[in-house]
A and B are shown apart, each in its own frame.
Chain A
Amino acid sequence: MSESKAKNLEVKTPFRTWIRSRKIQKRLLIFSFMFLPLFLLLVFTYIPFVKMIQFSFYDMKYLGTRTYVGLKNYIEVFQRPEIFGSLLVSLYYMGGALIQLALALFFATLMVFKVKGEAVFKGAMFFPYLICGIAVGFIFKFFYARGYVLDSILQAFGMRLEDIPMWLQDKSVNNPALVATSIWRYTGQNMILFLGAMMSVDSELYEAAALDGANKWHLFRYIILPSIKSIIVLNLILSISGSLSAFEPPYVITNGQMGTGTYFVIMNRLAHENQKVGLACAMALILLAIIIVCTIAQKLFFKYVFDDGTSDESKAAVRRRKKAEKEQKKLMRNGGVIS
């Protein structure tokens, strides 16, 4: 028994020294730990990305022949009335995003001051974020349907049914009605983000300021706002690309009918129903270009506007900001190479 074990060891020795050498170990580690994620990244992100660029120059379906059409798809994106209409619809979502940020900021500020039953209010406002988009869609389809929830509530307040618009059919109100569902869903989540940033401020600062006779507005203006300005700007910029990416509310509630089709809803229809794959790819790339522009704007903003004005930011905020900047910088360099 012990003999064979010794023999075994002897045989293994070269292998063992080999495997024990740091250099080999490192290579093995890098390969084995990164293979799967990199493989997935390649197959599900970069190959589709390259294909997307390629397809955008073709008139094609998923199957069958393709014809090279040059820039025709890109031109068509700007000429199709439905796509142009969807850009206008996005403006509603952008406006909604602003309202949502303002509400989130307002409620987060209220929560910073002592509130009884904070957990209940927080929970009630945050929970819609966790509900799946399809369920949210049905909840509001029911909510807005003629004679159901919203109409009943308004009637209880004395409005006559004849005076109430058809929320989802009337083109003057249907987009705001859909935008409201996304405000309903995301305000609580934004609030939690803001609250997290506000809580990173040392609470002694509030007490000291209160002792110095600062009122609530002063506290907000000089302590709370500086601590979260970077996250506000980040969210403002994200709301631009976010409003172009709005998808679930119109998809489930109105199926993009009656002028409610957002950019993604139209793209989804073109890609999977009409099988205009090339056109859909061109749309996707134009959206990507807008996202990249937003990211650059964000980077420039952080670099020039917040530069050195760090004395009123918390240490943690400075660190986060620096890190984000660094990441952005790297990203830009790489983004430039790829696109």
Chain B
Amino acid sequence: MKSAKPIGSIIFSILKYAALVLAAIVSLVPVSVCVLTAFKTNDEYASTSVLTLPNSFAYFENFKVAMEKANMLRGFLNTGLVLVVVLAVSVFTGAMLAYVLNRITFPGRGLIENLFLFASLLPGIAMQVTIYQIMYQFHLINHLYGYMIVLMGTDIISIYIYLQFFENLPVSLDESAIMDGCTYFGVFFRILFPLLKPAIMTSLLLKGVSVYNEYYASNLYLQTPQLKTISTALYTFTGPYGNRYNYICAGVIITIVPILIFFLIFQKQIYSGMTAGAVKG
């Protein structure tokens, strides 16, 4: 009985690593093939199997073409601008709202909390049918600020992250500050806001990724070429270049590289942020 155990655990180990390696391969192959193809010249692309290595990894023509044809530089600029504004505003609005909802009692607080809760149930893409009409009436279509406002207006996850974080901050902090004559505003800006750093980090990461990857609203509300964001810029490849996969792959790689760098730097925080945001699903 005792001698059987090590054998069993060796087999278990082998199977375990086999499964993990297989999963890693399946996860990486679709992207890796894109990388290979992005470095192939037109002739190579036409004549070789997609699985063969390119002649040289120093052939950047496809990237250049992709940048130009899809106007991706513009896309990066627009997305960057949207990211900065939306993230900055949502940190403050989210944290402030959570402070009021968590720390101050007033009539109607429960109702407001529930309004936010219920809002998180409404299916996002479905809502755009009528949001589109409102955007149209307010002349917010085809303006970057209009798109930014939409992204801020549908920001419920970060509010949750802050609410959760406030739950775990002791109320005695506020109370002692108020005893010392601090105003409610002072309590928030001087005492609590600096303590929110981890929550701010989490909400910035999650919100940042979702804004960078956002496609649907951008496609709907930013329709002129000058206003394309990175994902709508990439989408232009469905048109005349639909079959030129060496260009398309280059475009895909261009959009992935920033997020890969970001992932490698913030890996740990992203994982814990995922778990923290998980309560809301």
**Chain A residues within 8 Å of B, Cβ to Cβ:** 20, 25-26, 29-30, 33-34, 36-38, 40-41, 43-49, 51-52, 55, 62, 103, 106-107, 110, 113, 115, 119-128, 130-135, 138-143, 145, 148-149, 152-153, 156, 184, 188-189, 192-193, 196-197, 216, 231, 234-235, 238, 241, 245, 247-248, 252, 264, 267-268, 271-272, 277, 280-281, 283-284, 287-288, 291-292, 295, 320, 323-324, 327, 330-331, 333-335, 338
- Does B265 sit within 8 A of A, measured CB to CB? no
Contact B34 A284 (CB under 8 A): no
Contact B30 A139 (CB under 8 A): yes
Known contacts: A43-B153, A134-B234. The answer to whether A55 contacts B24 by CB under 8 A is: no
Size band of the interface chain B makes with A: 35 or more
Partner among B106, B123, B267, B281 whose Cβ is within 8 Å of the Cβ of A26: B106
Bitwise interface map of B from 111 to 142 toward A, beta carbon under 8 Å scored 1, else 0: 11111111101110111111111101000000
- Does B202 sit within 8 A of A, measured CB to CB? no
Interface of A is mostly: helix
Whole-angstrom CA separation of A129 from B260 in the bound complex: 11
Beta-carbon nearest neighbor of B116 in chain A = A41
Query: What are 13 A-B pairs at a CB distance below 8 A?
Result: A40-B152, A41-B115, A46-B115, A55-B130, A62-B136, A127-B263, A131-B213, A131-B259, A132-B212, A132-B234, A184-B26, A197-B278, A280-B126
Which residues in B have their C-beta under 8 angstroms from that of A119?
A: 267
- Does B60 sit within 8 A of A, measured CB to CB? no
Contact A292 B37 (CB under 8 A): no
Which residues in A have their C-beta under 8 angstroms from that of B37?
A: 142
Which residues in B have their C-beta under 8 angstroms from that of A148?
A: 50, 245
Which residues in A have their C-beta under 8 angstroms from that of B94?
A: 37
Give me the 8 closest cross-chain CB pairs, A-B, nearest first.
A196-B275, A44-B153, A284-B126, A132-B213, A334-B114, A40-B153, A48-B130, A33-B96
Contact B133 A51 (CB under 8 A): yes
Known contacts: A132-B212, A149-B51, A334-B117. The answer to whether A49 contacts B127 by CB under 8 A is: yes
Known contacts: A34-B97, A152-B49. The answer to whether A135 contacts B260 by CB under 8 A is: no
**Chain B residues within 8 Å of A, Cβ to Cβ:** 12, 16-17, 19-20, 23-24, 26-31, 33-34, 37, 49-51, 93-94, 96-97, 99-100, 104, 106, 110-119, 121-123, 125-134, 136, 149-150, 152-155, 159, 183-185, 188, 209, 212-213, 215-216, 220, 230-232, 234-235, 237-238, 245, 248-249, 251-252, 255-256, 259-260, 262-263, 267, 270-272, 274-275, 278-279, 281
Which residues in B have their C-beta under 8 angstroms from that of A40?
A: 93, 149, 152-153, 155
Whole-angstrom CA separation of A121 from B24 in the bound complex: 6
Contact A280 B129 (CB under 8 A): yes
Contact A192 B185 (CB under 8 A): no
Contact A271 B129 (CB under 8 A): yes
Which residues in B have their C-beta under 8 angstroms from that of A284?
A: 123, 126-127, 129
Partner among A124, A125, A135 whose Cβ is within 8 Å of the Cβ of B256: A135
Whole-angstrom CA separation of A82 from B270 in the bound complex: 39
Whole-angstrom CA separation of A130 from B262 in the bound complex: 10
Whole-angstrom CA separation of A241 from B121 in the bound complex: 10
Whole-angstrom CA separation of A127 from B16 in the bound complex: 21
Which residues in B have their C-beta under 8 angstroms from that of A45?
A: 119, 122, 127, 153-154
Which residues in B have their C-beta under 8 angstroms from that of A107?
A: 19-20, 23
Contact A142 B249 (CB under 8 A): yes
Known contacts: A30-B100, A30-B104. The answer to whether A130 contacts B209 by CB under 8 A is: yes
Known contacts: A48-B130, A130-B209, A234-B281. The answer to whether A41 contacts B220 by CB under 8 A is: no
Which residues in A have their C-beta under 8 angstroms from that of B260?
A: 127
Partner among A34, A143, A272 whose Cβ is within 8 Å of the Cβ of B30: A143
Which residues in A have their C-beta under 8 angstroms from that of B271?
A: 122, 126, 192, 196
